[in-house]
Every structure is written in structure tokens, then in C-alpha cells.
């Protein structure tokens, strides 16, 4: 009788361990929100390279606005996700601070950016294998570092943009025949980190650069420009992991 009880207990532990190890399979779908500042680096504003080591002087509040992001992820493996992203935001560029302050150009650019990304997690949390975590325990009880995920991402996106220049820049655009808006491609590249609060929610921080195929996001292209326009997002993120049915569909059922 004792032997049978021991065998049943061991089988129970094996099933429990197996279920915990396969957590990513039962929560494949993830939906997230992100919000934070946008930072723009174009041909308006900023200092010349000879006066600006590593470009750090170009980072200022005057060149900062905001972005808001919605995304959906699908976990292909424990370490690899595919992510569909939609971002709306505003970019700002001004000559008020920099090497061309006397020029006086100023512009705001509204953006809409759909993108498809791949994520690779080179550090995965340790709590997904904890049975009590799977059943809803706060992951922070196991220690902050054990709940940490760190990842890198890249992909391809499109950018719909529309710029509103000040009077000085508008006159220059008319002179040069520049249209303050349009569509272009972007390549997102970045890193992020998140903490698993429980089996349903994670909170994190993500830094992503967008390298555009256009040099006209700020409505102006200088003869001294040697690269395309670039912008960055620094987002606080909230992620919700949905349960997955046996048929492979997301569900809200417990």
C-alpha cells in the first residue's frame, strides 16, 4: 500500500513538473501596451558632429514628444516570439537648440507605424517552471531576478507621416518642392526587459530605434545630410498573457 502511494505521489510530481515546464505552450498569445517618450534625430536641430561627441548633446527635451503602442505576440518557442505592432505618436524637431539656432526651423510630425517583429529572449525568467507561479502566485515572491526576461528585437515596418512646419520651414519647403508627409519603410531594432508579476501579467521597459528609408520625416533635407532620419521610443510596457485552448486559440476562460 505504501509503495502504491509513493508511486502515485511520484506520478503526480512528474505531471505537475511537466505542466509547469510547458507554461509557454498554454499561454502562447500575449497582448501588450506601451507608452513613453519619442526622440527624433533628423536634419533640423542638433549640433554638428565636430561639436557633439557620440551625439549625446542632441538628446534634449525640445526634441522629445510621445508614442503609444499596441501589440500582439505569438510564442513560437520559449525563447522566440513573433510580434505585430501598431504605434501612433508625435516627433518634434527644432533649431532652438543646436548649431543652427539662427536658422529657426521648427516642425512637428505625426506618425502611424505598423510593424512585424521577431523577438529573441537571451535571458528567460526562472519562475515559469514553478508550479505555484503557474497557479497564480506573485512571481516577485521568488525574487526579482528570477522573474527577469531580457530580449532583443528587429523586424520591418511602414511609416505614415504628416508634418506641420513653422512659417520659416514652410517657405523653405515651397522653395525646394518638398512635400511634408508621405510613406516610407522603417527597420526597428532594440532591446527590452520585463518582470513576470504572475502567470498572466508582466511589466517592463523597452528601448527601440527606428531607421527609416527617408530623409524627409522633418520636412527638410540638407545638402550636408549623410544619413536617413532616425527616431527612438523608450516605452514602459504592460503585457497580458492569454491562456491557449487545446485547439490553439486564445481564451479568457479560467
Nearest of 33, 24, 28 to residue 203 by alpha carbon: 33
Structure confidence by residue, pLDDT tens digits, 39-88: 998 888 766 555 544 455 566 666 789 999 999 999 999 899 999 999 99
Please state, in angstroms and rounded to a whole number, the distance separating the CA atoms of residues 156 and 189: 9
Q: pLDDT (tens digit, 9 = 90+) per residue, 114-170? A: 999 999 999 988 777 665 555 556 655 556 778 899 999 999 999 999 999 888 888
pLDDT for 241 beyond 50? yes
Say if CB 183 and CB 157 are below 8 A apart: no
The closest alpha carbon to 40, from 176, 248, 226, 232, belongs to 232
Prediction pTM value:
0.81
User: What is the pLDDT at residue 54?
Assistant: 43
Q: pLDDT band for 19, please (50, 70, 90 cuts).
A: very low
Residue 28: give its domain's CATH number: 2.40.160.20
Contact 118, 10 (CB under 8 A): no
pLDDT at residue number 114: 98
> Which range marks the domain in which residue 229 is found?
2-251
Q: How many domains does the chain have?
A: 1
So what's the pLDDT on residue 219?
A: 83
Amino acid at each position: 500500500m505504501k509503495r502504491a502511494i509513493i508511486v502515485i505521489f511520484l506520478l503526480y510530481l512528474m505531471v505537475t513538473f511537466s505542466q509547469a515546464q510547458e507554461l509557454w505552450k498554454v499561454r502562447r498569445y500575449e497582448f501588450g501596451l506601451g507608452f513613453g517618450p519619442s526622440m527624433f534625430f533628423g536634419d533640423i536641430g542638433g549640433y554638428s558632429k565636430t561639436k557633439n561627441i557620440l551625439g549625446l548633446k542632441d538628446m534634449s527635451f525640445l526634441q522629445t514628444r510621445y508614442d503609444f503602442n499596441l501589440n500582439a505576440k505569438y510564442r513560437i518557442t520559449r525563447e522566440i516570439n513573433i510580434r505585430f505592432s501598431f504605434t501612433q505618436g508625435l516627433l518634434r524637431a527644432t533649431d532652438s537648440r543646436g548649431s543652427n539656432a539662427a536658422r529657426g526651423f521648427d516642425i512637428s510630425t505625426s506618425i502611424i507605424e505598423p510593424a512585424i517583429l521577431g523577438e529573441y529572449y537571451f535571458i528567460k525568467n526562472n519562475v515559469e517552471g514553478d508550479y505555484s507561479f503557474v497557479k497564480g502566485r506573485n512571481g516577485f515572491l521568488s525574487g526579482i531576478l528570477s522573474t527577469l526576461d531580457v530580449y532583443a528585437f528587429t523586424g520591418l515596418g511602414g511609416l505614415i507621416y504628416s508634418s506641420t512646419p513653422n512659417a520659416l520651414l514652410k517657405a523653405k519647403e515651397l522653395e525646394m518642392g518638398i512635400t511634408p508627409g508621405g510613406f516610407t519603410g522603417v527597420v526597428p531594432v532594440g532591446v527590452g526587459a520585463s518582470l513576470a508579476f504572475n502567470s498572466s501579467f508582466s511589466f517592463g521597459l523597452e528601448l527601440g530605434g527606428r531607421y527609416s528609408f527617408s530623409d524627409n520625416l522633418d520636412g527638410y533635407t540638407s545638402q550636408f545630410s549623410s544619413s536617413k532620419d532616425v527616431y527612438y521610443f523608450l516605452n514602459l510596457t504592460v503585457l497580458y498573457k492569454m491562456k491557449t485552448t487545446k485547439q490553439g486559440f486564445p481564451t479568457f476562460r479560467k
